Amino acid sequence: MGKGSRALDVAMCAGVRKGMVSKMKKFSIIWAGELISNIGSGMTAFALSVYVYRLTESVSFVSLVTLLAYLPTILLSPVGGVLADRYDRRLLMILGDLCSGLGLLYILISIQSGSRSIAPILIGVTVNAVFVALLEPSYKATVTDLLTEEEYAKASGMVQIAGNARYLISPAVAGILLGLADIRLILLIDIGTFFLTVSTVAAVRKTLRKPLTREKTKGMIRELKEGFLLIVRDGGIMALVAIMALICFFVGFIQILTPPMLLAISDAKTVGILASVSAVGLLISSVIIGLFGIKKRQADVLFLSAAAGGAFMALTGVSINLIFAGTALFLFFFSIPFINTCADVLLRVSIPHELQGRVWGMVSLLTQAGTILAYAISGVLADRMFEPLLEEEGLLSDSVGKIIGTGQGRGIGFLLVLSGLGMVLAAVTAGRSRKLRTIRISGGSAYASENIKE
């Protein structure tokens, strides 16, 4: 009897382990599809920037295309999150992928017909971004559906590797292809990746025994309100969202300001190489996290990484030496996946499973609002205020200028220094928050999940 019982226990444990491996395998299949899709999307983004600039010779139009390819996804993320809680998340991913490809198909057809107008490109990237809003909350919630809490950090590292591929691989591949053909080939390749991604998600969806139970529909507005109330009524989640919005704000500055600052002291080819090399920092830290995870003290790792990232951002703006600036930029990007992974894990374990989609959508809207604000004001601040302050005869030329130099690009450098110091201050302040330090211990939003239904 004892031996039989032990044998049964061993068999049950083996079955559990097999089930866990099977779920990780299913997630890995979906992840591989998203990796390929991200490479295609990155190639299109790079090629469109080159195409629009050659067509219009206007940086403003390039910025407008980038904004329209980004803003609709952020604004509509809460709606996509509600839908992810109502319906089959894998089916929503399939629909999001297929429909987002319609925007690229429209651009391809307009270019093929000989159109020289920028309007079809603006419409196409907007359509693409609208349906990406349907895809992303479902993709994030799928991590929770398929994996255990212990696997969240590893999965987050894998997701970041796939996301960073568009910065590491796509520009180089797109540049080579543009030398052999034109943007139409890249658009065709990207559209093809959507079908590949859909196939991987459909294959996994077929193997799931039954869809997870979803609550009854309450109405879009009420479900959006539930996601928002869960965030604001849980002190730990609210504090985490606030610090991530601040971090996104400061990161937005370095994304916008680094290229013009470096172009003031070098040429475009060198700046492009430097940007690619520095982006390797994202890949290395993402691989480390993917292999080893972050199994405990996520809050401490988040604060330390944010403070270090802010310090490296400040150092990026200090010197006109390319090697020094490039090294600081590499270390800054190395810190980002640690910040993202820790925030991801802390949020994931604090959100009730049935509310994952709508809360992730609302979190994306609230945190990325910081990025949008940075995009809107960084250029104006640099051109109208900081660059004049550090001209040869500027107001700060005899003070700050003695440290970081004067002339073109030095005002941008000073703005980066202040932004980095702001990020350090935000991280130190957040690190003193008791709510943030206890979020992992509380392990959920019991108060919020009970009270949002009132």
**CA–CA separation, 93 and 140 (whole Å):** 10
| Cβ atoms within 10 Å of 150's Cβ, excluding its own | 10
Q: Tell me, what's the pLDDT at 108? A: 92
pLDDT at 445: 43
Name the more confident of 275 and 38: 38
CA distance 373 to 423: 15
What's the fold here for domain 215-454?
Growth Hormone; Chain: A; (1.20.1250)
Q: Residue 353: what pLDDT?
A: 65
Q: What is the pLDDT of residues 223-255, one digit of tens each?
A: 667 777 777 777 777 888 888 888 889 988 887
Question: CB–CB of 242/294 below 8 Å?
Answer: no
Q: Is the pLDDT of residue 6 over 70?
A: no
**Mean pLDDT calculated for residue range 142-170:** 69
What pLDDT is attached to residue 441? 43
Is the pLDDT at 415 greater than 50? The verdict is yes
What pLDDT, on the 0 to 100 scale, is given for residue 300? 82
Q: How confident is the model at residue 11 (pLDDT cuts 50, 70, 90)?
A: very low
Q: What is the pLDDT of residue 425?
A: 92
Gap between the Cα atoms of 371 and 251, Å rounded: 7
| Residues ≥6 apart with Cβ < 8 Å to 202 | 90, 94
**Structural tokens at position 332:** 């800054």
Q: Per-residue DSSP letters for 197-254?
A: HHHHHHHHHHH-SSPPP-PPP--HHHHHHHHHHHHHHSHHHHHHHHHHHHHHHHHHHH
Domain 21-207 indexed as CATH 3.40.47.10: no
Domains 21-207 and 215-454 share a fold: yes
Does the pLDDT at position 46 exceed 60? yes
Reply yes or no on whether the pLDDT at 344 is more than 50: yes
CB of 141 closer than 8 Å to CB of 360: yes
Burial of 57 (0-12, 13-18, 19+ CB in 10 A): exposed
Query: Given this model, what pLDDT does residue 17 score?
Result: 45
Within 57-118, residue ranges assigned H as helices are 59-68, 71-86, 89-112
Instruction: Tell me the pTM.
Output: 0.66
What is the DSSP code string of 416-434? HHHHHHHHHHHHHHHHT-H
Counting Cα atoms < 13 Å in the Cβ hemisphere of 284 gives 12
Domain ranges of the chain: 21-207, 215-454
Query: In the predicted model, is pLDDT for residue 262 greater than 70?
Result: yes
